[in-house]
Amino acid sequence: MVALLTVLRVANAQSTSPEPPRVEQNDEWRYNSDYIYGMSRGLNADRDFGPGAKLTLMPLTLVLDTVLLPFGAIAGLLGQPPSRSHR
């Protein structure tokens, strides 16, 4: 009986370990999707190009953006730059 109580105490003592330290999370970080299809977005946002130039360049930018998509996705992991309102 005493041996059983000793085993239970030892097992209980081993199972109660201190909590691991908490890691501070950065709430300001967000995924930056500006690099994904960035050339196509830039072409659409640019008001200086005429409709004919946009129509001609859009297939080229879509192909280049699709080829560069993995790199844009990885670059997005760098996150958004900190906004100026938090400084």
41-80 tens-digit pLDDT? 999 888 888 889 899 999 999 999 999 999 999 888 887 7
Point out the least confidently predicted range of 9-13, 19-23, 33-37: 9-13
Segments forming the whole domain that contains residue 55 = 49-81
Per-residue buried b or exposed e for 6-43, using 16+ beta carbons within 10 Å of the residue's own CB: eeeeeeeeeeeeeeeeeeeeeeeeeeeeebbbbbbeeb
The amino acid at residue 38 is G
* Whether this model's pTM surpasses 0.75: no
- Residue 75: φ, ψ to 5°: -65, -30
Total structural domains within the chain: 1
Which of 4-13, 19-28, 65-74, 76-85: highest mean pLDDT? Answer: 65-74
